[in-house]
Structures are given as C-alpha cells and as structure tokens.
Amino acid sequence: MRKLLLGTTALAAATAMSASALADVSIAGSYEFKYKSESSQVASKDGTTMGHGDTDMVFTFTNKTDSGLTLSYRYDFTGAIGDTGTQTVDENSLAISGGFGKIVLGQDDDAADSYNIDEMDLPTEEPGSTFASSTIGTSSSIASTDAMKVAYHLPAMGGFTAGVSFADSGAVGSSDKTSMGAKYSMEAGGAAITLGYATQTTEATTKDTDQTNMGLKVVSGDLSLIVSQGTTEGVDEDIDNQGASISYKMPNGMTVAAYTFKSEDALDAGEELSRSGAEVAYSIASGLTAVVNVEDYDYKVGTNRDGASTVSDNGTVTALTLKASF
C-alpha cells in the first residue's frame, strides 16, 4: 500500500510539473506568395519573378515563476523572397518580465527596432524594389539585426516607453552595437498621437556608424498618417532620409495606403534615391489577405560612387502578394 501511495504521489507530481511546463505553449505561422513584375534600366532586373515572401514559424513557451516573473522563450524560423523553401533561425531569445520591465537575452531585434516610426509602417507590404547601391537609404528606419545581444525595456510609464540593447561582436570583434529608443503616446482632439525617437551606434575601426530615426504617427478613426526622418553617418556616408505615408481602412475590409520617400548622401554628391508607391490590401477571409502594390523609383549615382557596379536606375515594380497567417 505504501509503495502504491508513493508511486501515485510521484506520478501526480510528475503530471502536475509536465502540465505546468506545457500549459503555455503557442505555435504561430505565416506564409507569403509573391508575384513581381519589374521594369528596370538594369537588364538583370527587368522582368517577372515569383517566389516566397516573408515566411515565419514561431514557437513561444511561457511560464510564470512563484516570485511573479514571466519567462518567455521564443524560437522563430523564417524565410525571405527568392527562397526555395529553406528556413533559417531568425530569432532565438529569452525574455524575463516583471515590475522592473523586460530583459531580453539572445538573438532578437535591436532595441531601436521597437521605437522606430517610419513611412513603411503603414503599407502592408513592400513591392520588393532593388537598387544598385547598398549604402543609400531605402527607408527612414534604423536597420536591425538578430545578432546575440542583451536588451532592457522600461515598464510603461503613462504613455512613455524606452529601451536599450547591446550586441557584442566577439572577443576580437570591432563592431559592437549599442541601440536605444523611446516612444510617447497621447490623445489629442480625438486622435491617437505617437512620437518616436531611436538611435544606434555600430563601432568600426576607422569611424563608427551612427543612425537616428524620428517619427510622428497620428491615428484618427480609420485614417492613419506618418511623417519620419532618419540619418546615417559613417565612413564615406552622410545620408539624410525623409518619408511620409497615409492609409485608410474602408468598411468593406479593404485598406488603401500611399507613401513617398527620398534619400540623399551629402558625401557622394548627387547620389539620391526617390521612391513612391500605392497599395490596396483586401481581407479575403480571416487569416488570408491579398495585397497589390505599385512603386516607382529613381536612383541616381553620385560623383563619388561606392563601387564600379553602382549604376543609375529607374523603373516601376508591381507586385501581388497572398498572405496567410495561422
């Protein structure tokens, strides 16, 4: 009887621990199919393509400790346009949350990514334009990578939030990255207004690369508006970015959006990129959306171009994307 009682107790304890460990597990996924037609001055880009868009499969494990801390482990597989079906690990991180805020450890976004506000936040998709230069700005946001890092985000204080992250490039590395940002949200005249500021510094042997982003977002009913500005300063780079966008949610499940953007590099005199586009997104059913967007772009090479392969280009991109979420 005693052995039976001990065995029953052990089984009950193991079951309880197992149930507790598996109680908060979620799996989410998304898939995009994209058909793109591009008219370009560069022969290798002129034509039509089809392939996967952004695809994700995310596993999230959440548990709450006896002391009140919330532990969340996130594992994200992702793919991108042009993939043949290959999935890679995008993010792999642990978040520890409590009254003190949130600490994130591992492969995850730079802190600035949470506080960026830029013109491409309103459109559902980007048409996938490509440009000959890899250094000119393509949006006013600060680029984020999922390198190993530690991040800390303050708890929300009224409408104010802020955070900072640090990525170590390794024992012999010289490209450590410090990223930070803040947002403030308020109500005014029946509209929701959000102000955002972010900054990021990536160390380099000769000169650090500094990036900034400032943005304003206004939401009034079904109408949303964003204006944004960004800068990049580094070796042979002094880039200024300006953008704006607007979107409107229609009662039939359709959302229309438009945006404009311009980037100029003062150190490569004459180098600039302008792009503008429009989009229609329609919710076919719950979890299934069709997006059609058209973008015109014009890239001009500066007098001090960054490489022999850098060439001027202009054209139009039209894309159809089917998005499914699970």
Q: How confident is the model over 260-280, as pLDDT tens digits?
A: 999 999 888 888 999 999 999
Give the SS3 label for residue 120.
helix
Q: What is the pLDDT of residue 9?
A: 43
Q: Rounded CA gap, 316 and 139, in Å? A: 17
Q: What is the pLDDT of residue 12?
A: 43
Q: How confident is the model over 156-213, as pLDDT tens digits?
A: 999 999 999 999 988 777 889 999 999 999 999 899 999 999 999 999 988 999 999 9
Q: Which domains does the chain have, with CATH numbers?
A: 25-325 (2.40.160.10)
Low-confidence winner among 103-107, 125-129, 222-226, 230-234 (lowest mean pLDDT): 125-129
With a CB cutoff of 8 Å and minimum separation 6, the contacts of 321 are: 32, 33, 34, 35, 53, 125, 290, 291, 292, 293
pLDDT band for 297, please (50, 70, 90 cuts): very high
Q: Rounded CA gap, 127 and 136, in Å? A: 18
DSSP label at 108?
-
pLDDT at residue 303 tops 80: no
Please count the other Cβ atoms lying within 10 Å of the Cβ belonging to residue 56.
Answer: 18
Q: Rounded CA gap, 284 and 281, in Å? A: 9
pLDDT at residue 11 tops 50: no
Q: Rounded CA gap, 238 and 230, in Å? A: 11
Q: Rounded CA gap, 74 and 65, in Å? A: 17
Residues 154/101, Cβ–Cβ less than 8 Å: yes
Q: Which has the higher per-residue pLDDT, 302 or 7?
A: 302
With a CB cutoff of 8 Å and minimum separation 6, the contacts of 104 are: 93, 94, 95, 96, 149, 150, 151, 152, 153, 165
